Amino acid sequence: GMDDTPRPGSPPPAPVDEDDDPRNHPTNVKIREATALKDKGNAAFSAGSYDDAVRTYTEGADIAAQVEGNYRSQVARDVRTACYCNAAQARLKQERWSDAVDLCTLALGVDAKCVKALYRRGCAHLEQKEYAKARTDLAVAAQVEPNNKAVKSKLVEAERTEMTDAKKAKGANDYDRFAKIELSDDEDGGLAALPPPPPAVAQEEARPPPPAAPAPAPTPPPPAAQPKPASAPTAPAASSGESAPDQKRGSGYRYWAAGPSAPRVIPQKIDPGTVAEPQVANGAGSVWNSAGTYEEKDQTAWAKEELQRIVSAISVEVPGGSARCTGVKDVQGDVGIHMVRGKKRYLFDLHFTVPFEIDLDGEEKVYTGKINVTDFSADDQSDWEANVTWDERPTSSSPAYAKVLAAAGKALDSPKSGTVCAGLADGLHAFIRAFKAR
């Protein structure tokens, strides 16, 4: 065969064209650009610059949309969906519900089963009081992820809020109707139309014998002229003090209402010390919700203190040095224990920033950065979202550059052991265990 070995004095082989490098393929370039914009949007979100975050997310989604019909199209679709979902979360923070709905709809146009898009669009519909749409989105999300506790809780909340608003729309609840009832709603005018109880009625049994009775005794009117009970206010007996015409005992409501046997009931204040404490079954709600139907206990203040305690104690041995977290900053979100049909549900949705320091052996300078946790709302670590930003790090030409980046790690969903991200992930699992022990 032919010898391909270059002969002495022959020209060197031509360099490899950069266009042939897979890393420089237009598809890969666009995916890197879109991913970089998504990370930039995450940093703006963590800083509270929601408009900048939405603008950057949208640019990333537009670039990812240009990658279609090749072997990396699925990766591009994932980046595009994440950009739309994150932008929607930013609009939810701004309470721009319609914009959040539109962005989630764009995400669902790329991935119809994206649970985050369904959940966040359901939340936006709920804030708009579009209850049917909210229930539909949340129900579909629950079908895709049956064990997603946040979705289940929000679906229950949507149903409960819809029922509450429906009652308010009717103008009265079960108690308001009692406040509208008068002392008596008798068609003849009630107790207000009755004269004071005649003494003769109260003393009927003790009437003295006829010889001792006052004279002259009035002649009773004929039966035809006997006034009906409704015309009792015009009877002269009430004003003259003489005996009223006898009424048959127990003849009806008006007889008893007119007599002393029907005293007016006056509400009495209850002494709390005399009331027995209600017994609450184990696992049910508070004493005011002994049935355990629905109750929510806000745990956000406790969560902030517990996160600060756990994260401040995180210290990691990294290759060639050590690293530590210095606390938690800018904690935002909600944490609560929800009692639904007698079962406790532990729900949290937080985002925060964790500053850290890396101290390499032989280096005088301490390198600092932040882990920006943009989504911490589930037990499943694979759903956690975070990115790393730097305040002080070595230059790219420094030998310490690679060591410092490796010591920090890149993400929380699957961090390498011996990194700051791995140490923080362990701390977040400890927080979840403490939360569920409450």
What digits encode the pLDDT tens for the residues 342-376? 788 888 889 999 999 999 888 888 999 999 999 89
Decide which of 152 and 205 is more confident: 152
Per-residue pLDDT at 289: 55
Biggest distance spanned by C-alpha atoms of the chain: 161
**What was the pLDDT predicted at 53?**
94
pLDDT band at 419 (very low <50, low <70, confident <90, very high): very high
* Intra-chain end-to-end CA distance of the chain, in Å: 79
- Using 50, 70 and 90 to split pLDDT, how confident is the model at 261? low
Beta strands in 291-340 (DSSP E): 294-298, 315-318, 321-325, 329-340
* Token output for 113: 């089963």
What pLDDT shows up at residue 293?
55
Confidence of residue 243 (pLDDT cuts 50, 70, 90): very low
Maximum mean pLDDT: which of 60-69, 186-195, 284-293: 60-69
Q: Which of the given ranges, 5-9, 72-76, 380-384, 421-425, has the highest pLDDT on average?
A: 421-425
Task: Inform me whether the pLDDT recorded for 220 exceeds 90.
Answer: no
pLDDT of residue 22: 61
CA pair distance 229, 255, nearest whole angstrom:
8
Instruction: Return the pLDDT at 94.
Output: 93
Instruction: Among 70-74, 142-146, 162-166, 226-230, name the most confident range.
Output: 142-146
Please name every residue paired with 375 in a beta bridge, in sequence order, or none if there are none.
385
For the residues 29-54, what does the mean pLDDT come to?
92
Query: pLDDT band at residue 18, thresholds of 50, 70 and 90?
Result: very low
Give the C-alpha separation, 272 to 98, whole Å: 49
> Are 324 and 332 spatial neighbours (Cβ–Cβ below 8 Å)?
no
pLDDT band per the 50, 70, 90 thresholds, residue 72: confident
Residue 87 has pLDDT above 90, yes or no: yes
**Nearest to residue 341, comparing CAs of 150, 156, 83?**
156
For residue 16, what pLDDT is reported?
A: 46
327-351 tens-digit pLDDT: 999 999 888 888 777 788 888 889 9
Helices (H), 259-380: 300-312
SS3 383: helix
Whether the Cβ atoms of residue 100 and residue 92 lie closer than 8 Å to each other: yes
For residues 178 and 169, give the distance between their C-alpha atoms in angstroms, rounded to a whole number. Answer: 18
Q: What's the number of CA atoms in the CB half-sphere (13 Å) around residue 333? A: 24
As beta bridge partners, residue 301 has none
Query: pLDDT exceeding 90 applies to what percent of the chain?
Result: 37
Across the chain, mean pLDDT equals 77
CB neighbour list of residue 126: distance below 8 Å, 6 or more residues apart: 134, 154, 157, 158, 161
**Residue-wise pLDDT tens digits, 265-300:** 677 767 666 655 555 445 445 554 555 555 778 899
Structure tokens at 72: 């990396």
Alpha-carbon gap, residue 316 to 257, rounded angstroms? 83
Q: Which of 189-193, 376-380, 396-400 has the lowest mean pLDDT?
A: 189-193
Sign, Cα dihedral of 364, 367, 368, 371: negative
In this prediction, residue 180 carries a pLDDT of 46
316 close to 324: Cβ distance less than 8 angstroms: yes
Coil, strand or helix at 92: helix
Nearest Cα to Cα of residue 238 among 188, 200, 292: 200
Q: Could you tell me if 227 and 220 are in contact, meaning their C-beta atoms sit under 8 angstroms apart? A: no
94-134 pLDDT per residue, tens: 999 999 999 999 999 999 999 999 999 999 999 999 999 99
Q: Confidence band (pLDDT; 50, 70, 90) for 202?
A: very low
Decide if pLDDT at 227 tops 70: no
Distance separating alpha carbons of residues 127 and 98, to the nearest angstrom: 10
Mean of pLDDT values over 236-261: 50
Q: What is the pLDDT of residue 336?
A: 87
Q: What pLDDT, on the 0 to 100 scale, is given for residue 413?
A: 84
3-state DSSP helix/strand/coil % of the chain, to nearest 5: 50, 15, 40
Residue with tokens 């090749």: 70
Residue 10: enclosing H or E segment and its boundaries? none
